[in-house]
Amino acid sequence: MRRAVCPGSFDPVTRGHLDIIGRAAALFDEVVVAVGVNASKRRLFEPEERLAMLEQACAEWDNVRVDGFTGLLTDYCAENDVVAIVKGLRGPGDFEYELPMAHMNVSLTGVETVFVPTSPQWSFVSSSLIKEVASFGGDVSPFVPGFVLERLTARVEERRAGGA
């Protein structure tokens, strides 16, 4: 049984994430989508909300499950018999950002990183851009599942009403 993780913040999950998760599910026996819940960054969605959206979005794959983690990703991998970390690469910027982390992670516990090129149609999609565009009322419907769009629109409205 070869288990991989797709780690990330998923604030919120996008169709770009789902492209990588689905392709990882075809490569490995089991894929755990591991949601980093470290409190350092301010997020639009709480960890429970991000997990719930991912669970719904990943329901179509029998060998994909969702989990949260705190602390080092390598510790999570060691504790859960994970042999590979799967990361999507949208372009050279992602590679520059990810390569040192891949080196660090393999040097910490030997866990390998597998890079999967993001499908071109999602190559410009990121959670942060989705949030920015949505916050100004732009149409992000092509880039997230419908139920994510609903939650995103509602959260943006709440923040606007609350002055945040």
- The site for ligand PNS (CB under 6 A) is made up of 7-9, 36, 72-73, 101, 104-105
**3-state SS class at 131:** helix
- Report the sign of the C-alpha dihedral through residues 18, 38, 148, 51, in that order: positive
Specify whether the CB–CB gap between 65 and 30 falls below 8 A. Answer: yes
Nearer to ligand PNS (CB atom), residue 10 or residue 139: 10
Nearer to ligand PNS (CB atom), residue 93 or residue 163: 93
Specify whether the CB–CB gap between 111 and 80 falls below 8 A. Answer: no
CB of 8 to ligand PNS, least distance (A): 3
CB of 106 to ligand PNS, least distance (A): 10
CA distance 66 to 33: 5
Among this protein's residues, is 127 annotated catalytic?
yes
Which position among 23, 43, 50, 90 bears the catalytic label? 90
Among this protein's residues, is 41 annotated catalytic?
yes
Which position among 9, 17, 43, 131 bears the catalytic label? 17
- CB contact set of 68 (below 8 Å; sequence gap of 6+): 34, 35, 36, 37, 47, 51
Nearer to ligand PNS (CB atom), residue 110 or residue 137: 110
**3-state SS class at 137:** coil
Among this protein's residues, is 131 annotated catalytic?
no
Among this protein's residues, is 103 annotated catalytic?
no
Nearer to ligand PNS (CB atom), residue 55 or residue 98: 98
Position of minimal CB gap to ligand PNS:
36
What is the Cα gyration radius of the chain?
Answer: 16
Residues forming the active site: 17, 41, 90, 127
